[in-house]
Amino acid sequence: MPPRLGDDMATGTGMKMEITGAEVLLDAFEATNVSIDDGRIAALGAVASPTGLAIHAEGCLVLPGIVDCHGDAFERHIMPRPGVSFDLDLALRDADRALLASGITTAFHGVTWSWEPGLRGAENARLLVDRIAALKSELGADTRFHMRHETFNLDAEEEIGVWLEQGRIGVLAFNDHTEGTLKSRHRPDKIGKMVERTGLSHDAFMELVDQVYARKGEVAGSVSRLAERAGRAGVPIMSHDDMSPEMRREHRALGIAIAEFPINEETAREAASANEAIVFGAPNVVRGGSHTGCPAAEEMVREGLCTILASDYYYPALPLAPFLLAERGAASLRAAWKLVSENPATALGLTDRGRIAPGLRADLVIVRPEPTPRVVATIAGGRLVHLADPDLLGR
């Protein structure tokens, strides 16, 4: 009788696993077997004497686990409706199950710390950095803290700097939504959503915006100091929504080497000219374009102006986007899958994952490609953490 997911063999240190019968993504797709031991890929090729958990993956593809450098869909697990919040531990565990069902084995939760109160306020950011660290060992995905720092949140600078030095932040991103908030102040459809998540009245919110914006002259110095501290701590840095080539060059001069969601093609080309990582959203690919009028991710892939896809606000888009790119002729499946595995791992300094090779961390996704690509199993750190097709364990 095959082991169950809850047995020690599936959850304990030192487990062995064999995946047979699948096409495995190496330099190309190859029909081979994968042996796993103690959380690592032990060998590729014939299995002389199978031991441990046997996964029979005929008709499936075995792909490197997905590295999601920017995901904030977990916010909906915390606050599924405006003003309706749930316990953080419950929300993070629930989000973890959603990640694993989408083949995401390394997740950077995009936690926005803004000058706003409420969902994106200081209290929530502090709780999240604590609870992500506290739950890390029991979550299936390797879950890390992506600090989305609102640059006008000047009072948070020192605390964020300490977190960087303590190793509590996996990636630091600089965001500025304050300018956009001011531009949207006469658009109820835009401002209303922001006000709802803060719990403030409309008038109190706009008064706060004016107070925050009055300190604009302090922002550049704060960004420079935090970028320097992140660099010293070895923490990767992103700039979010670069608006022009000049802005990208300014951020590059500060050591910010990852362009996250550049808002036009010219800015993406500037990043590409320096061989920088360029992030776009997988939902953009799946939906056939941006919902905000920014560049279409598929076109950016075709032009060599997108090197990483992130889940952004919708986890299931990440495993599907590479297949759609391949189907539409934008890239081979091998190249498209690198956008969600090897490329983000490399950009974030995670040299132990993103590829399938002996000695690397055993983060793998098993996909049944027809008729619609479907994640049927996820292995993270050598543990079978998601199983949607029990037939993979044999009969």
Domain 8-64+355-393: CATH class, spelled out: mainly beta
Phi, psi dihedral angles at 94 (to 5 degrees): -65, -40
Rounded percentage of the chain residues whose pLDDT exceeds 70: 93
Q: Per-residue pLDDT averaged across 335-360, rounded?
A: 98
Q: How confident is the model at residue 56 (pLDDT cuts 50, 70, 90)?
A: very high
Give tens-digit pLDDT for 222-264: 999 999 999 999 999 999 999 999 999 999 999 999 999 999 9
Q: Which CATH architecture has domain 66-347?
A: Alpha-Beta Barrel (3.20)
Q: How confident is the model at residue 6 (pLDDT cuts 50, 70, 90)?
A: very low
Q: Write the CA distances from 380 to 61, 104, 257, 364, 386, integer angstroms.
A: 16, 9, 28, 7, 9
**How far is the C-alpha of 30 from the C-alpha of 48, rounded, in Å?**
18
The predicted pLDDT at position 127 comes to 94
Q: Taken in order 170, 171, 174, 178, is the CA torsion positive or negative?
A: negative
The predicted pLDDT at position 2 comes to 34
Q: Write the CA distances from 336 to 33, 74, 76, 325, integer angstroms.
A: 23, 25, 28, 7
Name the average pLDDT for the chain: 91
Tokens representing residue 27 in the block? 């330099």
Min mean pLDDT across 179-193, 285-299, 323-337 is at 179-193
DSSP state of 283: H
Pairing of strands 34-37, 40-44: antiparallel
**How far is the C-alpha of 18 from the C-alpha of 56, rounded, in Å?**
8
Q: How confident is the model at residue 52 (pLDDT cuts 50, 70, 90)?
A: confident
Give tens-digit pLDDT for 133-166: 999 999 999 999 999 999 999 999 999 999 999 9
Q: How confident is the model at residue 317 (pLDDT cuts 50, 70, 90)?
A: very high
Is it the case that residue 73 has pLDDT exceeding 80?
yes
**Contacts with 198 (C-beta within 8 Å, 6 or more apart), sequence order:** 116, 117, 118, 119, 121, 205
Q: How confident is the model at residue 50 (pLDDT cuts 50, 70, 90)?
A: low
The predicted pLDDT at position 84 comes to 87
Q: Where are the domains of the chain?
A: 8-64+355-393, 66-347
The predicted pLDDT at position 49 comes to 61
Q: Write down the residue that tokens 């950009």 correspond to.
A: 347
Q: Which residue has the higher pLDDT, 187 or 273?
A: 273
Q: Per-residue pLDDT averaged across 120-128, rounded?
A: 92
Please classify residue 335 by burial: count the beta carbons closer than 10 Å to its beta carbon, then call 0-12 exposed, 13-18 middle and 19+ buried: middle
Rounded percentage of the chain residues whose pLDDT exceeds 90: 79
Give tens-digit pLDDT for 157-209: 999 999 999 999 999 999 998 877 776 666 666 677 778 778 888 888 888 88
The predicted pLDDT at position 48 comes to 56
Hey, is 256 helix, strand or coil? coil
